[in-house]
Amino acid sequence: MLSAPRTLRLRLLADPPLNGNAIEVKTAQRVDEPVQCGHIPEMDESDFGFAPPFCTLAPDDCATMTDVRAGVDEIDRMLVVLLARRQGYMDAAARIKPLRAQVRDEARIQQVLDNVAANSVRAGLSWAIAEPVWRTLMERCIAHEFMVYDDLKPGGNPGDGV
């Protein structure tokens, strides 16, 4: 028996709230649920656990630059929400890590790159795009985590070595 389809949602809470409100953005839907905006066949649940519900035309279906720009703008809106959530995890890491020296974790950086490389192959994303984007993203996230760590724990930890 099939379970009832569910929509996965990401809720971004800004501090202070944007325009006095929280923003709710639909970020993914189960493939077995009809997608109101459209379904990207090359990205299905078996690959990533979700299929994004894009409302714009697929790249191969674009006939005008307006179509292309609408698709890019839609993805940029999604990326902003996802990056804000990623930043929240950096805030949590800064709060949880007991030592400033633990903020930069070379083994974790390599693990993330390995994960991205594997996911890039499945999604058809060029490594020439993915690698520099993720390296920059990780470096900026690490810098942010250091800033948050220092704000939360002024003076660092004695004997921290950093």
pLDDT in tens, 70-83: 999 999 999 999 99
Strand stretches in 3-118, DSSP E: 7-12, 23-29
Looking at the chain, the whole-number percentage of residues with pLDDT higher than 70 is: 64
pTM comes to 0.69
pLDDT band at residue 115, thresholds of 50, 70 and 90? very high
Task: Name the residue ranges covered by the structural domains of the chain.
Answer: 1-55, 65-162
User: Positive or negative CA dihedral for 127, 87, 37, 4?
Assistant: positive
CATH fold for the domain made of 65-162: Chorismate Mutase Domain, subunit A (1.20.59)
